[in-house]
Amino acid sequence: MFSPDDATSLDDYEYGAFADGSDPFQQSNIMALTGSATYEGDATGVYANRDEGRNYFFDAAATLTANFGTNAQFGTISGMVNRVMVDGSMVDGNPSLTLNSADIGNANSGFFNGDTAMNWNEKDFSGKWGGQFYGNGDAATDHPGSVAGTFGGASTDERESFVGVFGAYKQ
């Protein structure tokens, strides 16, 4: 988070998010992966509402499914960030951010990025998400042990926005 001038003014804040890990998945193993894997974990971030002039820091759940490809097709990954809580209470209206299907990189990259979508409080939100796999198994064909990344978006009228990170482990 960066606040250059007046920390009390919502207009002066700039937010960013990043995810990183200590055991990146061996990218050259992407081609050997087949089948699917489900990942569950946590997400956290900040939601800004310009009309209220307020920021809300939130925690949520993250669930992703990777469908690994075959025959030089690397597969896709998609998911959901939901069960959003602010100050220990569930957020009204149950906002659920869809992490739309994203292609898994290429033969030398397990990175991915895609679009987000959400309808909450009668407003449509859209944005971007992305990440990469972590955790190597004993064999080149073992699915990655975890996935981490970032997500963000804004309402169509640009009065509300959010940015966050997620980390999830293979189930």
Within-domain flag for 13? no
Integer-rounded Cα Rg, in Å, for the chain is 17
Name the pairing type of β-strands 97-106 and 109-120: antiparallel
Closest CA to 136 of 170, 171, 112, 102: 170
Closest CA to 30 of 70, 61, 3, 59: 70
Within-domain flag for 130? yes
Within-domain flag for 3? no
Long-range contacts of 115-121 (CB under 8 A, 24+ apart): 116/151, 116/152, 116/153, 118/153, 120/93, 120/95, 120/96, 121/93
Within-domain flag for 114? yes
Within-domain flag for 92? yes
Residue range(s) defining the domain that contains residue 49 = 20-170
pTM for the full model? 0.88
Closest CA to 131 of 82, 57, 84, 79: 79
CB within 8 A of 75, min separation 6: which ones?
33, 66, 67, 68, 69, 103, 104
Within-domain flag for 31? yes
Within-domain flag for 12? no
Q: 109 versus 37: which is more confidently predicted?
A: 37
Express each pLDDT in 63-83 by its tens digit.
999 999 876 678 999 999 999
Percentage of the chain exceeding pLDDT 70: 87
Residue 128 contacts residue 116 (beta carbons within 8 Å): yes
CATH number of the domain bearing residue 67: 2.40.160
Within-domain flag for 165? yes
**So what's the pLDDT on residue 5?**
53
Express each pLDDT in 132-170 by its tens digit.
999 999 998 999 999 999 999 999 999 999 999 999 999
Domain count, the chain: 1
